[in-house]
Structure 1
Amino acid sequence: MSIKTVIIDDEPKAIAILVNKIKRFCPELEIVASVSKPQEAFDTINELQPDLIFIDIAMPGMTGFDVLQQFTHPNFEIIFATAFDQYALDAIKHCAIGYLVKPIDNEDLVEAVINARRNIEDKNALQKNKLLIENLGIQKFQKKKIVIPSTDGLEFVKVKTISHFEGVDGYTKIHFSNRKSMLSSHSIGHFKKLLDEREFYHVHKSYIINMSYVERYLNDGYVVLQGDISIPVSRAKRTEFLNQLKQ
């Protein structure tokens, strides 16, 4: 399977390095264009209709996010290649979209391409990309959505509706305020990486709670969430957690 690929980066040297790595480690990618002026990216992508784009975020005049927000039907797989800030990475990870941190590691590149190829075959890029663009335009964390891999596929849910995460035998049970819980095929550690630590707190090795749902703390080491749900707080976390509650 040949994958039509476009590279967008304002630094010609960065493009050259990535092209070289792709030729060496990912020969299934067919590089049909490279663009060093982000203002030209929209027209290039529309004309060539690639399966995959590599795009930098921090570019002069127009960021990679600005480029993507021009599309109403972004039906292509995306891999970000960037050294950008944490907010950007959070927005990307929330949508299960690939990213590489510069300087690009060879193994990370291969893994990102394998995931991209799988997503191209599953034809789920459009929904993920629309979610990314939606999240980029939203400033309040509570309105953001998160992608939850499940046994049936991918589900997109509002973060504010999640009361807590529960680790169960390597899987994660996600509990909601407005619906039945669901089981994800990912471990609880996967979700910890996605969540804002100011909004969600890892109180126990098996539990992450939404701080907005906390109603009270009990002296015997339990926090009570809305709905009278008791969650244990590990001894090592109690002092830090209480300080967090007081802030």
Structure 2
Amino acid sequence: MKTIIQSYRFYTDDPKDAAAYKQLVEKFSALNTQCFRTWGGSSHYFPQFETPTEIELETKFIFNNQWNTTPIPGISDKGLRVFDWAEDYPINFSDSIKRGHYLIITPAMRNIRHNTVACGYCGRQEPITLIPSTPVFCHHCLNNAYLKKEDLHLLRFRRIDDPTDRPKLTEEEHSYLNLLYTDAQTQLNSKRAAAKRSKVHETYIKKTESALRERDGFLWLLDNNINTENVIYYDCTQKFCFGWRTPVSPKFAAAISGFPFPHEIKSEK
């Protein structure tokens, strides 16, 4: 999706620039476009776009006041975050300097915002054509462990360009969602169950291997008449540590030179 980006820099102490900036503000006020005004790690003023420049916008995720661009050769290999209208907040420079950028908002940009809906909890977005007329709720995050019953109204899909708050659930909607929520929080679908089962098996193998390594390591030491009072096994790193209490002597270090398991030695200087 293509549009035009334009950077600006006005010195409002100058009557001509002041008039031009006033005209810009009036233009966006008429379009009901809010200015995103911040000061942070980078400026909203792009000198390379002082001349109107065509850019390509990503549409994988839609925002209500900003966009990601595709890579811009010679400017950004990863693309930029650009806004409908953004301006630097005057902290480190004079308030008379107004600088930032804006986009030409095309019908295509308006349409995709109006025809894309998002969940207020997980952020999932869908074209409105894929959403049934009723009920208009996201089911994707019903099994989220952190989702609370009092937040179920956030699952209501809302158009990206809709500035209103999501309304609370009606009694009918609450009954409908509460039933789905209870089932989703109680049961696992086959895909999630398979993933959980795989994770349990993986954890079992890892802990079993670690326990066997710890057992075999200490048995090796005992079989070789090595004092184990100053030896510890760290399950997190799966390594033995010699001298974890007090550094070991060179003689001790020599005695364990054939120790066949991952380890570290804290020895005397």
Structure of greater relative contact order (alpha carbons < 8 Å, 6+ residues apart) = 2
The verdict on a shared fold, with TM-score over 0.5 as the criterion, is no
TM-score (norm 1): 0.24
* Structure holding more strand per residue: 1
Q: Which has the larger radius of gyration?
A: 2
